[in-house]
Amino acid sequence: MRDNNSIGPWIRRFLLEHVATERNLARNTQLSYRDTLVLLLPFLSKALGKAVDRLSIDDLSPASVRSFLRYLEKERRCSGATRNLRLATIHSLAKFIGMHSPEHVAWCAAIRGVPFKKTASSTLTYLDKPEMEALLHTPDLHTALGMRDHALLLFLYNTGARADEAAHLSLEDIKWGTSPAVRLVGKGKMRWCPIWPRTADVLKPLIAGRACGEFVFLNRLNQPLTRFGIYAVVRRTVAQASQALPSLMAKTISPHCLRHTCAVHLLRSGVDINTIRAWLGHVSLDTTHIYAEVDLEMKAKALALCDLPKETRTRPWHTDAGLMSFLKAL
């Protein structure tokens, strides 16, 4: 008879069947779930004086979960956001067990009753157009690495691609022709994104002479650039550009910041919110609405500073015309 009370087999099913197969979560999300359990199981084993393979479902009680969360914050110095991320994994594990084992439904409800901690919402960082242009003009186009850095930054700005998506981009993902586009795969989802003429002009010489299956962005050793390498390129370029434009020093700029910049600039050009959602690959429109709220907040601040007449404080949103003017400006 199967022992439904031992937590080991449930964790195995949770990671290998539910997270990886049934939900098909992104690889980084799978690793995050695993990392939480790598921390949780030794903590329970030490606290209860039991071997890891002897732990039962009842050993994971609301009290032990709260102790684990305190351990994360006090001893490991984790932020509130990280604490909530770890708790979300535990909630997900409890839900999985409760759905497949009716006798553990009450236990599941108790575990999922451990609340998340309220944390301050993070500020969305993006670059204004002069700052973005300063970043794009920083790499030395007379060198091979400078050309690659320029192409990478422009690609991130054009597509709003995540660092992992750009790192895994291959030549076969790009469709040339009268309307160039790129296929991006991230978080288990695929989307097509248009390539601006300006971006196409810098990508073509970068990949000239390469085979179809090769990666687009390579490092000094002609190996695929990793997402950590992409972070390094952005940080290095920002450090150089900050010497000429000090406003960059006040912002925390990462590849994801360029994704935010792409969305805000598209919105300001008049592109509708649904198009931006598809452009960035968001599942929920609520995620994309963050950019609309940020843009409205910035406009309100600008109006307050300028003290414009009431009749000039609103203007109609443009759609296709705004998009075309934005693309031509690039």
At 150-208, the pLDDT tens digits run 999 999 999 999 999 999 999 999 999 899 999 999 877 899 999 999 999 999 999 99
Q: Where are the alpha helices (DSSP H) in 281-319?
A: 285-306
Q: Give how far Cα 130 sits from Cα of 134, 248, 326, Å.
A: 6, 10, 14
Distance in angstroms (rounded) separating the CA atoms of residues 282 and 13: 28
Q: Which whole number is the average pLDDT over 42-52? A: 96
Q: Which whole number is the average pLDDT over 18-25? A: 87
Count of residues making up the chain:
330
Q: Which residues are catalytically annotated?
A: 162, 187, 256, 259, 282, 291
Nearest to residue 6, comparing CAs of 56, 41, 60, 59? 56
Element (DSSP H or E) covering residue 64: helix 62-74
At 125-157, the pLDDT tens digits run 899 999 999 999 999 999 999 999 999 999 999
pTM score, whole prediction? 0.70
Q: Which whole number is the average pLDDT over 61-86? A: 95
Q: Which residues contact 319 (CB under 8 A, 6 or more apart)?
A: 270, 271, 272
Element (DSSP H or E) covering residue 185: strand 181-186
Domains defined for the chain, CATH in brackets:
7-112 (1.10.150), 129-329 (1.10.443.10)
